[in-house]
Amino acid sequence: MTARLPAAERMTGEGTVPDWAAVRDGLTQAKSFWLATVRPDGLPHLRPLLCAWLDDALHVCSNPSARKAKNVDGGSAAAIGTSCPRFDVVVEGPAERVTDVAALRRIADAFRDKYSWPVVERDGALDAEYAAPTAGAPPFAAYTVTPVTAFVFPTAEGLAPTRWRFG
């Protein structure tokens, strides 16, 4: 799959706009993520979770009965944040449940490779011998968050706060 190259714009201040490849690498390598969704009553909902960058999108999983899964299944968009060595990243976009078996297998492979978590595709969901600390009990619904906007907030000198818009 060809990587989508977003358009970058400096938000404020001085510094260099980070290269999108560096941000993408940060998303690929980061281990801890936070997912923000919106509850049906309009209140925010924020939870830590495992996340994998694959095919130009972020992928997460959850027990379908968990609040974060219910929010996404109810139409909530998502924001996912993480910290990288030189910057923090926030990715915003629609979240959609993944049901395609081949896609679920690729997501399971990504979680196994990244976290050494023995998750597999089984019966149209993700399953594992034990639960991830943030996913609840198996089986797990998988979700793809496709970036519409991404932000970098520098934590090191020389970088500029940057917004990327995906076309």
pLDDT category, 3, cuts 50, 70, 90?
Answer: low
Segment (H or E) for 119: strand 119-122
**Helical H segments across the chain, by residue range:** 20-29, 67-73, 101-115
Q: Average pLDDT in the 99-112 region?
A: 97
Average pLDDT of the chain? 94
| pLDDT for the residue numbered 2 | 53
Segment (H or E) for 93: strand 87-93
Residues near 159 by Cβ (< 8 Å), separated by ≥ 6? 15, 16, 17, 18, 86, 87, 152
| pLDDT for the residue numbered 145 | 98
Peptide bond into 139 cis (omega under 30): yes
